[in-house]
Amino acid sequence: MKKTAFLFLGICATALIYVSCSNDNVVNQTDTTSVAASVAIDAADEMDINTGLLITNSSPTAKPATNVAGVCATITITTPTGATYPKVFTVDFGTAGCADGQLTRKGKLKITLSGPIITTGSKLTIERIDYSINGIKLEGTIEYTNTTTVATVPQWSRKVTNGKFTDLQGRVYTNSGMHTVKQTAGVDTPYVLEDNVYEMTEGNHTVTTEKGATLTLTVQEALVKKYSCIYVSKGKLKIEGGFLKGVIDYGNNECDNKFTYTHETGVSYNLSM
C-alpha cells in the first residue's frame, strides 16, 4: 500500500507540472484541471482495484482474511446466498478515516467477488460509499472482469461507470472508461502478487468537467505496469481535449518516474512524477 500511496501522490504532482507549461500556450487552464483530475482518477481507480485484489487474493479453499497488511480498515465478509460465492467484502475506513502512509481514506468500499478472480468470467465489483481519499470525494463503480481466453495469458476488462470526482475546491468531474489488462508475468504463481507484470493493451478514459469540457486519454501503445514498481514503465497515451493534443511516452521499461509529453506541434517536455 505504501507503493500505491506514492503512485497516487506522484501522479497528482505530475498533473501540476502542466500548469508551468501553460505559459507556452500548449494548454489552457481548463485542460490543466482536466489533466489533473484525469490522472488522479486513474490512480485512484488503480489503488482501489489493488485494494480489492489484496483483500480477495486467496485460494478458494482458504479462509478470507479480515485483517490485511497495508489496508487500515475494518473488513467484514458475507456470503449472501450461503454458497462459497459470491463473497461480499465491506471495507470500512471509518467516518474519521484512517491513514496508510500519506493517504487518508474515509468511507467504505463494497467489494463483490463472483468467483475466483483467476477464473474466466469471474468479476470483482467495487462500489464506493461516502468514500474519499485525502479529502477528494470519489463515486462510481469499477468492474474488473476476467476475460481470459488463453490460459497462459490471463486478461481482464476494467470498466468504470458513473464515475464522479470532487476535488478539494469543489470542482466536479464525471468520468467513465473501459480498458483491457493482460498479465504478462507471474502467471505461474496466481496467489502471489509481487512478481506480476501487467499490460494495459487498449482502451480509453474520458473526463468531463461540470462546464462540459472533455478530455480523452487513449492507449496508443500498451502501458506496462510491474506490481513491484511504483510507476508505469513503458507505453504511450494519446491525450485530446481543447488545446491539449499530444502523446505521453513512459520510456523504455525502466522502473523510474520519468516520461515525455510531445505536443502535436512537435514540442516535447521531459517530465517526472
Q: How far apart are CA 262 and CA 17, in angstroms?
A: 14
The yes-or-no verdict on residue 226 having pLDDT over 90 is no
Q: Tell me the one-letter amino acid at 232.
A: V
Best CA proximity match to 116, nearest among 68, 66, 158, 57: 57
Instruction: Determine the straight-line distance between the first and last CA of the chain, rounded to whole angstroms.
Output: 18
Q: How far apart are CA 154 and CA 8, in angstroms?
A: 26
What is the DSSP code (8-state) at residue 115? S
The yes-or-no verdict on residue 158 having pLDDT over 60 is yes
17 against 158, higher pLDDT: 158
Section 99-117 average pLDDT: 93
pTM here? 0.82
Q: How far apart are CA 70 and CA 208, in angstroms?
A: 32
Domain with 101 in it: 2-59+68-272
Q: What pLDDT shows up at residue 63? A: 60
| The three cell numbers locating residue 41 | 482518477
Considering the chain, what is the average pLDDT of its residues?
A: 83
Number of domains in the chain: 1
Confidence band for 190, pLDDT divided at 50, 70 and 90:
confident
Lowest mean pLDDT among 18-22, 143-147, 163-167, 250-254: 18-22
